[in-house]
Amino acid sequence: MTHPFVDWIRTPGDTSLGVVCEDGYCSEPVATESALAARWLRVWPPCSQRLADENGQEPGMVDDEPILDPPLIAQLRALDDDDMPNISTEIAQAFLSKTPEDYARLQVAVVQADPKNVGLLGHKIKGSAMNFGGARVARLAEAIELAGKAGETEPSEVGPLGEALDEMYAALRSEFGI
């Protein structure tokens, strides 16, 4: 099963939906007929609303930002129904299984001095974290994304991102009982 992250658009020449990235890149297509896609589109706010900078902090300045956002967790749980009673838990499990792999790939990109993949993986982790209101992880990942786009290969936020991800993993396991 494909689990959606970030925002949705219709891909050109296709009837599926794709995950939107800032550069227009779409990944992980999901059929529009999918019950999950229909419910996700109905309850989830746009990516730009979820990472709105309400407190004036620059990317990477994350001292008091939450690991999870209870209102977004409630919206995620609203996806559960009789047809798919555990979909919110499945989405959390997908994050818990895929994001450590993405973080490991980010570390490899740093070692290999690969700014393109540093930026892409920072972007991917940012979008995934925003699905749970993970502002601390999202801001650190956004700083890494921007550093990669600027050609930097060793962003200082990589270590703190790993620590914030560990906190987020623990919070999700506690929240969803996994």
Report, as an integer, the average pLDDT of 144-169. Answer: 94
Q: Are strands 16-20 and 26-31 parallel, antiparallel or unpaired?
A: antiparallel
Rounded Cα distance, 97 and 3, in Å:
12
Per the confidence metrics, is the pTM higher than 0.75?
no
Condensed to tens digits (0 to 9), the pLDDT of residues 16-29 reads: 444 433 343 444 44
- In the predicted structure, residue 46 carries a pLDDT above the cut 60: no
| 18-41 average pLDDT score | 45
pLDDT band at 110 (very low <50, low <70, confident <90, very high): very high
Q: What is the 3-state secondary structure (H, E, C) of the chain?
A: CCCCCCEEEECCCCCEEEEECCCCCEEEEEECCCHHHHHHHHHCCCHHHHCCCCCCCCCCCCCCCCCCCHHHHHHHHCCCCCCCCCHHHHHHHHHHHHHHHHHHHHHHHHHCCCHHHHHHHHHHHHHHHHCCCCHHHHHHHHHHHHHHHCCCCCCCCHHHHHHHHHHHHHHHHHHHCC
Average pLDDT score, the chain: 75
Which pLDDT score, from 0 to 100, does residue 51 have? 45
Spatial separation of the C-alpha atoms in residues 145 and 155, rounded to whole Å: 9
19 close to 12: Cβ distance less than 8 angstroms:
no
Structural domains of the chain ordered from first start: 7-176 (1.20.120.160)
pLDDT at 102: 96
Asked if residue 113 has pLDDT above 90, the reply is yes
Res 170 pLDDT > 90: yes
Q: What's the chain's length in residues?
A: 178
Give the Cα separation of 61 and 59 in Å (integer): 6
What's the pLDDT tens digit per position in 62-106?
456 778 999 989 998 998 988 888 999 999 999 999 999 999 999
Distances from the Cα of 78 to the Cαs of 4, 37, 52, 67, in angstroms? 15, 13, 22, 20
Mean pLDDT along residues 133-162: 93
pLDDT at 63: 57
